Structures are given as structure tokens and as C-alpha cells.
Chains A and B, each alone.
Chain A
Amino acid sequence: MNSYQLGLIMNSCISVIQVMGVFIITSLAGMFSLGQASFMAISAYFTFILARSLDLPIILTAIVGLGISALCAFIIAIPTLKLRKDYFALITMGFGEMISAIVVMCEKYTNGSIGYSRIPKVEHIFWLILAITAFVVYFAWALKRSRFGRMCIALKTDETAAKSFGIDTYRLKIKVFIIASCISGLAGILYGLKNRVITPDGFSWNLSAEMQIFLFFGGTNSLTGAVLSAFLLKLLPEMFRSLELFGQSLQVYRTAFYCVLILLVINFRPNGILGEKEFSITTVRRWVSRLLGRKKAEGGQDD
């Protein structure tokens, strides 16, 4: 594989990590955040600026960066999560815009809208990203199958009923939002390490919306669907980059393409492509045995 193809795969992996963050908020706890890209920005900027100015190893400053993301998430969560769900979406969106503006304003440290590029080079970045992606997906899977996952889904489907079974929904929501923001922050740091430059535009509202689109496309309650759609929807547009329509690369029409896709999905499969289906060993086994069974039956007819 050449470095361009490796780059595409890394981009898709980062997209999977981003969507896992959104998955935990939206699919598990039923909250709709439109500002997850801002947590990517917070973690990435803090990690790289601290690494540069204090001359510390990236791994240390990354922990600080994630911590600051968590702290920001905690601070917005306290007042916002007492409000109704739609206000939460609005406030996270506003927070996202605010962070972009702050990055531009603090030009002295962040280099403003030109972008911050004094990012150290990391060896084996491909394997690092692959490993972290695998871990994050595993994390989301294990979380969904634990008591936390059950409490979150209960909270999502019926908050009043969840409360009447002793679930402290307010604290649970804060916890979930902090975890999801840390995952988003992780995606931001990896994004910076991979591209070696971060700009405020790169973490704009578009990116937050894109994460939600990927999630809804794959299936709001399916981890498998979320992972697949995050990976493929990021990868496919790049593959069609060389194709042309009306004298322009198909890449230009990406947003229009997403919109059509979303309209189709919402109309015909309101729960996303995979709905609530999950990949599991037993399902695969069932498929295989069904396939084998069919072959046997066909073989029998031949005789």
C-alpha cells in the first residue's frame, strides 16, 4: 500500500473514533450533541501547544489535553443537562462555534486561522491509530453490554421510567457526556498527529454534523452499523475523487450527496441501515449454518 492509501485508512479510522464518541452520547444515552468537533479542537490544541512550548513528550500532554476536554464537558454538562434534550443540542452547537472563535482569537498561541503546524512527528502512526481505533470500538462495545449500557438505553427510551427504577439520570448523563468528549478529544489528537497541522476550520460545525450523519446512516442503535458507516462514508468519497461530473470532481458534490443519502435513509429506513442489528459470533454462525444447509438441500436435489 502506498502512503496515500494508508492515509485514507487512517482518516477513516479517525472518523470511526469520532463516531464512537457520538455513538455513546446519542445511541446509548439519547442526547444529541452538535459540538463534538470542539472537543477534538480543545484536546488537539492543548496537546500540541503544550508539547511545543514546555517541551514535554506528547503522551503526557495528550493526557492533559484529554483532561481539559473532560473538564470542559463537565462544566457545560452541569447546567445544560438539566434542560430538555433539544436545548442540549443547541448549547453544544453554540459551544462548538465558541471554541472555533477562541482558537482564531488566541492567534498568539494557536496561529489563528492559518493553522498550527508545529506538531512533532510520531513513529508508526498508522499502527498507533489502528490500535487506538480498535480499543475505542471495543470500549464502546463493552460499555453497551454492561450495566452502564443498560441504564443508558433505559434513560434514552423513557427517562421517567428509568428514574422510577432508581437510576440517577442526571449524573449518568454527565458521566456519559464526559466519556464521549474524551473520545472525541482522542480523535482530535490523532487527527493532528496524522495531518501534522490543525486549523479551526477543520473542527467546525460541519464536522460535528458529519459525525451525526454517519451515525444515523449506520443505525442509531447499532454499534456495527456506526463503525461500518463511519469507515465507509469517509472512505468512499475519496475513492470517487478522480471521477468527474460537469467538469468538476465528484468530491465537490459530497455535501449534496450526503443530504440525498440522509433523506433516503430517513424515509425508507428511519432506524438507519442496520437498525438495531449487531454483529456477533452467533449471528455469523447462524448465517453460515443456514448457507451450508441450503447447499446441502440443493445438493440433495441434484442427486
Chain B
Amino acid sequence: MTDAILSCSGISMDFGGVKAVDDFNAVIGKGETVGIIGPNGAGKTTIFNVFSRIYIQTAGTLAFNGESVDHVDQVGMARRGLSRTFQNIRLFSGLTVLDNVKVPLDYKGEYTMAEAVFHLPRRNRMEKAVAEKAMQTLELLDLAKYADSSATALPYGLQRRVEIARALVSEPKLLMLDEPAAGLNPEEVLQLVDFLKEIKSKFEGIALLVIEHRMDLIMNLCEFLYVQNFGRTIAKGTPAEIQEDDAVLAAYLGEENI
């Protein structure tokens, strides 16, 4: 087995009296593709928010790349190499597509504010490098021709792609996609699967964690699945195993006999 990029044990998240996630355990290996599926309200996005440290779990421990990250905040987690997209698209509306994709590279920019203001050589060199990197990522997602348009003026499907580009540009170790196929038609879903497989070959060692409702995507893409219902894990295994699992069928299709 490969090393784990992210592992968690006994993760619980309460909001007042509501247990959104109850005792979640998972291990994601380097370069693996893992899916979390489950009906609405099963706590999938909450798990993402705990992993990216928007929420701090009420119980349980979390480790990233072999290091305990229980006390790391959102910024620290991003800087360690975890990147994500959002279920409700959250692009930066005041910026162009290209600038949106540049943002994840900006915190590690090496030029100072004085250099920025006086357009000194290092500023220009770094800006050029950042622009090139962002442009490459856009080309990878076939978005180059939209580079200068306003991000939020694009159609929904393209905005999703821009979000993926923005999450990929920093070459994360773990990329988390929150319902990447929402609002796409079946043909686009197949394209997305191909594209995500291409990413895995281009970015060596990148692990993917995907939340999805669309079975066509999940079954084609993921090597391992966790099935959530009402905050609990009701099944885990390979896609083939999950398709045969009684508890999963019950959760999705209702009980067989009453």
C-alpha cells in the first residue's frame, strides 16, 4: 500500500444538537482517487469543510502527509498542499478568469510591496512566470480563450472548469472536488471523467477526493468509495462492491421488503 496523503479517524462534527458527521474514518493514499457519495444532508460537504479546516472537528484526529493537522487553520492547510472546489461555485467576481487562476499562486509571490509599486524587474519577472503558469493551466482545461473575460459572466459549466483550474494551478497534493458534475449533461460528465483521468497522469502523485451524486462519474473514476447517510458511513469499498451492497441499495432505493 502507498503512503497516506490524508487520514482521519473518528471525525465527528456537531452543530448544536445536529450531528452532521459521526465517527468518520478514512485513508486516502498518494495518487488515489476516492469518492464520497450519499444523499443530500449526509454530511459530505461537512467532511470537506473539516478536511480544509473551515470547520474544526468536535472529535477525532486528522493527519495530512504524515503530519497531524488538528491545530492547523484553513490557510495552513492550503499551504500544505490541499486544494478544493466549492459546491456553490465561489469564483472571485471582481477578477478575470486569468486573475482568478493566478490568486492561489499569489501568497508565495516573492516580490515585496515596494517592488510591486515601482514595477521593479523582480516584480515583472515573477508576474510573467505566474501569468504563464496560470495560462498553462487554463490551456489544460481548454479555457485559454476566456482568459480575459470576467469570471462570473461565464456560463455555469465553464465556471466549474475555472474553479477546477484555480484549484489545480498550485499543484496540490490532494485535490478535493465538491460535486464537479452538478449541472452537466451526460456527455459533459464523460468528458469530465476523461479530463480528471488526464489530470492524474499529468500531475504525478496527485490524489483526488470527489463528492458526487452522479453514479456514472463515480463508478468510472473512483478506486474506492465511502457511502454516507445521515452523517454515518454505511458502506465502503470498491465501486463494484458498493453496487452490490444492501445497505447502500436501501439508502438509495428504499428497503426491499417492508
Query: Which A residues are closer than 8 A to B by beta carbons?
Result: 138-139, 142-143, 146-148, 150-151, 153-154, 156-158, 160-169, 175, 179, 221, 276
A165-B107, A167-B107 in contact; A156/B94 too (CB < 8 A)?
Answer: yes
For the complex formed, measure the closest distance between the CB of A203 and the CB atoms of chain B, giving whole angstroms.
27
- 8 residue pairs of the A-B complex, CB under 8 angstroms, read A138-B117, A142-B118, A142-B119, A150-B106, A161-B90, A163-B54, A165-B166, A276-B150
Give chain B interface residues in 66-107, CB to chain A under 8 Å.
73-75, 77-79, 83-84, 86, 90, 92-95, 99, 102-104, 106-107
Q: Are A150 and B95 in contact (CB under 8 A)?
A: yes
A153-B92, A166-B170 in contact; A148/B113 too (CB < 8 A)?
Answer: yes
Q: Are B107 and A151 in contact (CB under 8 A)?
A: yes
- In this complex, what residue of B is CB-closest to A179? B113
Write out the residue numbers on chain A whose beta carbons fall within 8 Å of the beta carbon of B92: 153-154, 157-158, 161-162
Q: Does B208 contact A (CB under 8 A)?
A: no
Main SS at interface, chain A: helix
Q: Are A164 and B74 in contact (CB under 8 A)?
A: yes
Q: Are A164 and B99 in contact (CB under 8 A)?
A: no
What are the nearest 8 A-B pairs in CB distance? A146-B116, A166-B78, A147-B106, A165-B104, A147-B109, A163-B74, A161-B90, A166-B107
Q: Which of B54, B78, B113, B118 lies in contact with A165, CB distance below 8 A? A: B78
Write out the residue numbers on chain A whose beta carbons fall within 8 Å of the beta carbon of B52: 164
For the complex formed, measure the closest distance between the CB of A103 and the CB atoms of chain B, giving whole angstroms.
31
Q: Which of B83, B99, B116, B170 lies in contact with A142, CB distance below 8 A? A: B116
- In this complex, what residue of A is CB-closest to B109? A147
Q: Are B75 and A147 in contact (CB under 8 A)?
A: no
Write out the residue numbers on chain B whose beta carbons fall within 8 Å of the beta carbon of A162: 92, 103
Cα distance, A135 to B79, chains bound together (Å): 35
A150-B99, A165-B166 in contact; A142/B117 too (CB < 8 A)?
Answer: yes
Q: Does B145 contact A (CB under 8 A)?
A: no
Write out the residue numbers on chain A whose beta carbons fall within 8 Å of the beta carbon of B127: 146-147
- In this complex, what residue of B is CB-closest to A27? B94
* A156, A164, A179 pick with most chain B CB within 10 angstroms: A164
Write out the residue numbers on chain B whose beta carbons fall within 8 Å of the beta carbon of A154: 92, 95, 103, 106
A147-B106, A147-B111, A165-B107 in contact; A158/B90 too (CB < 8 A)?
Answer: yes
Cα distance, A146 to B126, chains bound together (Å): 10
For the complex formed, measure the closest distance between the CB of B50 and the CB atoms of chain A, giving whole angstroms.
13
Q: Are B103 and A150 in contact (CB under 8 A)?
A: yes
A142-B119, A161-B92, A166-B79 in contact; A151/B74 too (CB < 8 A)?
Answer: no
